[in-house]
Structure 1
Amino acid sequence: MSQNASLDRRGFFKKSGILALMSAVGSEIPFVRNFPGGLVPVAMAAPTMVELNIPGKSLELVVLGDKPVVAETPPHLLDSEVTPNDLMFIRNNGLVPTNINAATWTLTIGSEATPNSPARESESTKRTVTFTIAELKSKFKNYTSNLVIECGGNGRSEFNPPAKGNQWTLGGVGCPSWTGVRLKDVLEYVGLKNDAVYIGYYGSDPHLSGDATKVPISRGVPIKKALQEDALIVWEMNGAPLPIQNGYPLRLVIPGYPASVSGKWLNRIVVRNKVHDGPKMVDDYRNPCTPVEPASDVPNSNMCVIEEMPIKSLITYPASGAKFNFGDKVEIRGNAWSGIGDVKEVFVSIDFGATWIKANLKKPVNKFAWQRFSANLKFPSKGYYELWARAVDKKGVSQPMVIPGWNPKGYLNNATHRIAVKIV
């Protein structure tokens, strides 16, 4: 059961329910009367751990699926400014390609017909160009940036009624240091025409069925996003070649949007004169355009492509379940980020959101890097506590304290992060 999952137990928080709650967590709960109805205590919501030996990855990743490989990072392992290669989450849609030769790998950029559009479109680029990785490195200025990418379904396990798909808790996110060239520079070198409105990518990952005529995923972004200076075509992660599970030898990194637009094993970019319509563009990574009733059927006409990701934060220290001695000061640390690239402030609470303490917030290393926050906490008595973190972006938009609007795909959950600690 997920940490913010809803309860459907009437009377749970009546007097008898309060006693049962304290019994369940094995401790007094000093601020129990502030506990919001409809939430499960974090201590009762530990995820099931599954191990899978993935070459180059830590055994501490939590595996959500093995075909395709999907694995997330426990929050306490993300307690750093830069996410290490072995702890970076994995979200594959097809099979991992084999027999890769980075020396002969090519990337083709142009506007000719795509596998999904057999009829030739009107030309949206002035030419079609094919680059080797060595040519990308030599023709264009190289950049290194810390950039957050996050799966659009991160937090899906907390929705009720449940949404189909990989049941991410909160670990489908990371902020490595990426090295590559600006997508903007390469597109401008190829030459865009006035009718260019979208890009789409293709990779070399085989379809799960093994059918060579099928494409597992081909998504994209509007031209205005592709031309932002933070969008990169990369070949290195943290100063080393990309891990195979994270797109070796070449991938896109387009921060601020769902990680599904940051195509892996990149070999082709098409410039479109309409919204890209590749696989997982038409039916996936879409959210209701207007609020809907939970468990309702949402017509396609009310489903809009997800663009900017919401404001979010993650407590990375202490780990949920930690114990501390009464009287000790306890440091809380974590990361905060947003789809618009800036976080204004972060607040933390020890009394179920009744009061909030402003945390110290570091400036980002660069735009779209996550920002580290910290605060020192003192507890009024022994017992069970939950530490909550809530970030606010530069537009004044805050994380909600409850699960945001239900949607059938379980996307964009940015509810306040909660962990449990005991003071003994």
Structure 2
Amino acid sequence: MSPVALTLFGSLFILLILNVPIAVSLALSSVVTLFIFDIPLSIFPFTMYTATAKFTLLAIPFFILAGTIMEKSGISKRLINFANLVVGHLKGGLAIVTVLTSCFFAAISGSGPATVAALGNMLVPAMEESGYDKGMSAALLSASGAIGIIIPPSIAFVVYGVVAQVSIGKLFIAGIIPGLLFGLTLIVASLIVSRKYNIKQTGAATGKQLRKAFVEAIWGIMTPVIILGGIYGGIFTPTEAAGVAVFYGLIVGLFIYRDLKPKAVPSLLVESSVSSAVVMLIVAAASLFAWIITTQGIARDLADVLLSITSNKYGILMIINIILLIAGCFIDAVSAYYILMPIFLPILNIVGIDLLHFGVVMTVNLAIGQITPPVGVNLYVACGIADIGINRISKSIVPFLVASLVALLLVTYLPILSLGLPALMGM
């Protein structure tokens, strides 16, 4: 490995070990490398600005704001109520409800931690009251929340689309079936785990109850329909769709459900601005890191190393999966796209792996990273909600981690799961 690569990755690793925030770690390691190897420091502000000054990235703050509004507008509790009436009476029904509502809310928020935060205060206590172990409940919610970056609209897909120059609209469609498959494997795992608990079962809902719950939840169910329908109907772009989602959420929260009060809107704007600033700071810092990887020949050297191991497409995918799973334990999805895509892109082009398919594979990998210690962000959000330690949830997450890996293998080696729906839609 070259001295530049050793300095860049070595300093980053040390900073991460010291628990320095990822954005600061990326920026500091990049600046140190620029300074030591006499690369003009003027590239620092220029690269960070050009990385963030992109129209497409406007979708990120809008989707974050939309998710925050949906969380506070009462949509989540109505989705949970509807799902509970549909399948809650089944054996292990509340576990199924957790996964189903996570899929619904994922199609609203586009974020894993946001999905866990929005649903956790209702689902974890309900599961515990029904006889589920608290650690298992929090672990299932964490794993289900990871669907948030796979099912559209996904903030992760927006970033990947910008980095890899792939259509964000196609990525959204490509993520639907893999996201549902991810949820299905979690349902199977939860039903197996639930067998050792004495679960209380509720009676089946009447037709009248189901109709009433559906009518109340329809505004939340319609959110992804409006967003995706507008994109693929040619009415608006993914970035404009994010803005539409914000206004739709405000109308539902303020005037239809009326759970969102006008005086709460300013605090929602502040909360969303802080979250957006964190993401965009990571984008800016990671872009400088990626610039050094590309211009200093590090990406080419690392690509050559991987290709020297094997040039078989399936072998390359397995090696990349392992790298991504390890990376997901330490860095977030946004950083991973910017750091690793310059390395992977030449390899993908040489061995003939479709970038749309790979975008889904990489995103599923990084979704799993949200539930793997030590930096699994979903785990920490769920720990705070359930008031348990990271050790307890780390043990409980194992069966759901195994289920997630099964989904990853299927998505990796069955490209039709990602490419079939876009092809069917003529994309």
TM-score (norm 1): 0.24
TM-score (norm 2): 0.24
Which structure carries more helix by proportion?
Answer: 2
Which structure carries more strand by proportion?
Answer: 1
Of structures 1 and 2, the one scoring higher in RCO (CA 8 A, sep 6+) is 2
Q: Which has the larger radius of gyration?
A: 1
